[in-house]
């Protein structure tokens, strides 16, 4: 049975969470999103149903966090708790139903980024760990690691310095570059500590994206091959439909825009025909409902 | 990093920039600021809001710099809470967390700075409301208490104790119908809103009773006449203000 880091939430049923929870962690600019955008189609081609999720995509709090970050007045405790609300909302309403329906859940950042950010902002590590003790233990955590000096050119020559990524709220006296360096160094030090405590699989993110991708493919394949259950997850098709439906509805309610070709963070069940350990996902896609909800937006 | 200092928390070494060291959290920190914090607690219909509003006017008339903060009122967070309640999107856990977020914003932006500045801060509902409601919803008692460990400890926390039937009687005559979360309808205790409200508020009362010794809440018998309760409240508040140095007065 799947486990949490210590606490369970009311109504949380940890049995039958048969999917796989795979975490991609790393500092800003380490290439997490690039990798997830490659991993997803690769897994779908193998016939797996894939959900990808990430910070602030909760329909409940995502918009509230974005608004709060635009204001000049978001405190450190408030920030940590806002993100915790977003995380738990997605876990309860998106990740857990998806795991129950047998999805592979790829998550861009997890509790580790949230803990690192909070700790660097002076929060008590025991306090923030306590809050996330209700989080599910993932099947694997891949930590894309990049030194600050390698990170800087990636940021400068792509999107430029961002107020929050530069930790300007933490180092208000410094200019953006100095602040970025101080903040990302502190984050990196915290990530390195967490990587030992939580046994991350560290991947050198300074290599070419294709090289990193090949490493991740091999590691994820090992996680999937390690699963001995190669049978449908639900005897009752209706139950599985119900959970897939929940995932679709949740994602459709999210207003988080991702990119032009994928305007909403919507889960797509696989259309592939190859099956390894996965169930036949394409039989139960309630796509009409999800699409029509999206179309109305 | 050359600008930070480091500290150890159990097995973890943590680098913290020097200007943040003061933010280090203590569990329900003792007042070390010139201001004074007074809070009122109790179930809906206990009359606590009436009492704190009378206290507010009295303190202002005496020239104290008084600031009032009410539950669920953060400008940054309340729209999110409203959305969650309206669309019934909140689970016990997210209900708990979004209220903690709202509270954190008020603590960071108002309550703590004002206490440091020497104000008298009055709060209609405080962390005990969260403890009572969240535990009544099934959240872990320790988890919720730890969640709020960043809060300042009040000088006095008044608990307006009222029997359940009295509270329900006051509320049902004052308005028609109960809201979804206030009646605990998210818990499926009963399909009948009045019955669900009764069961849920009963659980909340049990939690308050447990917290009286745990947090040293000051119990006021809320079945007494309003004037009698207010006289008791003022007397207790006065003794704390007499002992306080450096309180700021209203210009």
Contact indicator for A265, A254 with CB cutoff of 8 Å = yes
* pLDDT given for residue A245 in this prediction: 86
* pLDDT given for residue A240 in this prediction: 78
> pLDDT per position in chain B (251 positions), as tens?
333 444 433 333 444 444 444 444 444 445 578 899 999 999 988 999 999 999 999 999 998 999 999 999 999 999 999 999 999 999 999 999 999 999 999 999 999 999 999 999 999 999 999 999 999 999 999 999 999 999 999 999 999 999 999 888 887 777 677 889 989 999 999 989 889 999 999 999 999 999 999 999 999 999 999 999 999 999 999 999 987 777 877 77
Confidence of residue A229 (pLDDT cuts 50, 70, 90): low
CATH number at B114 reads 3.40.50.300
What domain count does chain B have? 1
* pLDDT given for residue A241 in this prediction: 83
Which residues, listed in sequence order, are joined to residue B67 by a DSSP beta bridge? B121
* Domains delineated in chain A: 20-296 (3.40.50.300)
Residue A240 CA to residue A103 CA, distance in Å, equals 11
Within a domain: B144: yes
Which residues, listed in sequence order, are joined to residue B14 by a DSSP beta bridge? B7
Any residues with CB less than 8 A from the CB of A210 and at least 6 apart, and which?
none
Within a domain: B13: no
Phi, psi at B217, each rounded to 5°: -65, 145
Interface test with B, best of A4, A9, A65, A246 (most B CBs within 10 A): A9
Residue A112 CA to residue A25 CA, distance in Å, equals 7
pLDDT, tens digit, 9 for 90 and up, residues A143-191:
999 999 999 888 888 878 888 989 999 988 889 999 999 999 999 999 9
**Own/partner pairs for B16-23, CB < 8 Å, 24+ apart?**
B16/A120, B16/A122, B17/A122, B17/A170, B17/A171, B17/A182, B17/A186, B20/A121, B20/A122, B20/A170, B21/A122, B23/A76, B23/A121, B23/A122, B23/A123
Within a domain: B81: yes
ipTM of the complex: 0.86
Which residues, listed in sequence order, are joined to residue B161 by a DSSP beta bridge? B221
Within a domain: B175: yes
Within a domain: B176: yes
Asked if A120's CB is within 8 angstroms of B91's CB, the reply is: no
How far is C-alpha A109 from the chain's CA centre? Answer: 4
Asked if A82's CB is within 8 angstroms of B77's CB, the reply is: yes
Residue A59 CA to residue A257 CA, distance in Å, equals 12
Asked if B150's CB is within 8 angstroms of A127's CB, the reply is: yes
The domain containing residue B191 runs over which residues? Answer: 34-243
Contact indicator for B95, B82 with CB cutoff of 8 Å = no
Within a domain: B133: yes
B16 interface with A at CB cutoff 8 Å:
yes
* pLDDT given for residue B177 in this prediction: 76
Asked if B143's CB is within 8 angstroms of A77's CB, the reply is: no
pTM of the shown model: 0.85
Phi, psi at B145, each rounded to 5°: -65, -40
């Amino acid at each position: 049975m799947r486990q949490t880091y210590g606490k369970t939430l009311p109504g949380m049923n940890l049995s039958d969470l048969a999917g796989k929870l795979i975490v991609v962690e790393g500092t800003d600019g380490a290439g997490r999103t690039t990798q997830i955008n490659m991993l997803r189609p690769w897994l779908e081609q193998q016939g797996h149903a894939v959900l990808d999720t990430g910070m602030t995509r909760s329909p409940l709090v995502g918009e509230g966090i974005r608004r709060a970050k635009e204001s000049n007045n978001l405190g450190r405790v408030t920030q940590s708790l806002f993100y915790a609300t977003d995380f738990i909302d997605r876990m309860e309403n998106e990740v857990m139903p998806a795991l129950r329906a047998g999805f592979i859940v790829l998550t861009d950042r997890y509790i580790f980024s949230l803990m690192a950010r909070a700790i660097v902002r002076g929060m008590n590590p025991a306090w923030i760990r306590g809050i996330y003790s209700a989080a599910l233990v993932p099947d694997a955590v891949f930590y894309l690691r990049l030194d600050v000096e390698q990170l800087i050119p990636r940021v400068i020559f792509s999107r430029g310095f961002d107020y929050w990524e530069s930790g300007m709220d933490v180092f208000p006296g410094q200019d953006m570059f100095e602040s970025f360096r101080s903040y990302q160094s502190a984050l990196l030090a915290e990530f390195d500590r967490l990587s030992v405590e939580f046994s991350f699989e560290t991947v050198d993110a300074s290599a070419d994206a294709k090289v990193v991708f090949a490493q991740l493919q091999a590691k994820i394949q090992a996680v999937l091959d390690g699963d001995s259950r190669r049978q449908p997850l639900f005897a009752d098709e209706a139950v599985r439909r119900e959970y897939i439906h929940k995932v679709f509805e949740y994602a459709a309610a999210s207003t988080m825009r991702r990119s032009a070709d994928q305007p909403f963070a919507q889960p797509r069940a696989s259309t592939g025909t190859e099956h390894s350990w996965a169930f036949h996902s394409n039989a139960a896609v309630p796509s009409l409902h999800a699409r029509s909800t999206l179309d109305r937006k | 990093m050359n600008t930070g200092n480091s500290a150890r928390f159990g097995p973890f070494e943590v680098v913290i920039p020097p200007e943040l060291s003061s933010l280090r959290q203590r569990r329900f920190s003792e007042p070390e600021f010139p201001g004074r914090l007074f809070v009122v607690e109790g179930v809906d219909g206990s009359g606590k809001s009436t009492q704190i509003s009378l206290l507010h006017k009295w303190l202002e008339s005496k020239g104290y710099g008084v600031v009032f903060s009410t539950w669920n009122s953060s400008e940054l967070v309340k729209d999110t809470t409203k959305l969650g309640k309206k669309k019934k999107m909140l689970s016990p856990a997210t209900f708990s967390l979004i209220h903690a977020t709202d509270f954190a914003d008020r603590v960071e932006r108002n309550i703590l700075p004002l206490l440091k500045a020497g104000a008298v801060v009055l709060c209609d509902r405080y962390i005990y409301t969260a403890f009572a409601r969240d535990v009544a919803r099934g959240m872990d008692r320790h988890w919720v208490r730890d969640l709020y460990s960043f809060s300042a400890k009040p000088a006095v926390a008044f608990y307006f104790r009222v029997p359940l039937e009295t509270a329900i009687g006051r509320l049902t005559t004052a308005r028609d119908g109960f809201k979804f979360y206030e009646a605990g309808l998210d818990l499926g205790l009963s399909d009948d809103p009045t019955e669900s409200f009764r069961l849920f508020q009963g659980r909340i009362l049990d939690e308050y009773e447990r917290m009286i010794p745990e947090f040293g809440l000051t119990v006021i018998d809320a079945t007494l006449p309003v004037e009698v309760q207010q006289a008791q409240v003022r007397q207790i508040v006065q003794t704390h203000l007499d002992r306080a140095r450096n309180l700021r007065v209203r210009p």
